Amino acid sequence: MKLGAVIITMGNRPDDLRALIDSVAKQDGEPVEVVVVGNGAPVTGVPDGVRTVDLPENLGIPGGRNVGIEAFGPGGGDVDALLFLDDDGLLPNNDTAELVRRAFEEDPALGIISFRIADPDTGLTQRRHVPRLRASDPMRSSRVTTFLGGANAVRTKVLEQVGGLPDEFFYAHEETDLAWRALDAGWMIDYRSDMVLHHPTTPPSRHAVYHRMVARNRVWLARRNLPAPLVPVYLGVWILLTLLRRPSAAALKAWFGGFKEGWSTPCGPRRPMKWRTVWRLTRLGRPPVV
């Protein structure tokens, strides 16, 4: 099974980027071909043999990753699966690529694998990095309904069948959009605790646009993918959860501004999932209302 890796960077972490590329090069088995996308910044200082794509402007996380996918042919079709890795991450184990190959080869229905993210100093995994509701044990692998954007592997047949990440999202929830489309097409998603990406522990709210885009894209996610009766239920639950978390006044203002923007701006094509997919998500422990 031929693997590729897509890494997007804004050029502000050259040492981390080089360390990540080196960790990919050390993987056991056939070499993993790497493409680095400079998202609004030129790529410099990468080893020979690493392909680069320089974008004149920042297309956001999904837009940048989609450019990386196409660098491997339409839908990434020149390889069998793609690793998507954050540029400040690191693969600490040399067998991760081989584990990915084995997982896809042994399970033809498996479309996406979500890696376990661990802090390089403490080895701990944050609850938010375990893509299921029952997240207290990050060492338990399981079927899941979404995946982690900067620490995963996707079979390219999935991308060819359901399309890539939603460019318009720019940041936040783009993985869940792809995950729901993949599940609706019959693919499965696994969270694997033995496939590890080291990544420093940082709060997602460090991004200035976090609260606005999280809310806007939550609305877009529902409008694009959910059967009509579930849209108000899903969004109502998330309004309640947001209020229960007691964000600051400024954060709450940005969140509701994004929520309004999600209703007033185009979200891309609407393709509501089948009701049997709703049932599958429910059986996997996360019905699409939370």
Mind listing the pLDDT tens digit for each residue in 155-186? 999 999 999 999 999 999 999 999 999 999 99
Q: Determine the residue type at 166.
A: P
Q: How many CA atoms lie within 13 A of 162 on its CB side?
A: 23
pLDDT-derived band at 203 (thresholds 50, 70, 90) equals: confident
Q: Are residues 136 and 233 in the same domain?
A: no
Q: Are residues 173 and 229 in the same domain?
A: no
Percent residues over pLDDT 70 in the chain: 99
Helix, strand, coil % (nearest 5) of the chain? 40, 20, 40
Q: Are residues 35 and 105 in the same domain?
A: yes
Q: Are residues 193 and 256 in the same domain?
A: no
Q: Are residues 92 and 167 in the same domain?
A: yes
Rounded distance between C-alpha atoms, residue 112 and residue 230, angstroms:
25
Range of the domain at 162: 3-202
Token output for 226 = 């959910």
Q: Are residues 216 and 94 in the same domain?
A: no
The total domain count for the chain is 2
Q: Are residues 115 and 240 in the same domain?
A: no
| Residue 276 lies inside a defined structural domain of this protein | no
pLDDT at residue 207, rounded to an integer: 56
Q: Are residues 33 and 140 in the same domain?
A: yes
Q: What is the CATH number of the domain that holds 63?
A: 3.90.550.10
Token output for 66 = 């989609």
pLDDT-derived band at 206 (thresholds 50, 70, 90) equals: low
pLDDT-derived band at 99 (thresholds 50, 70, 90) equals: very high
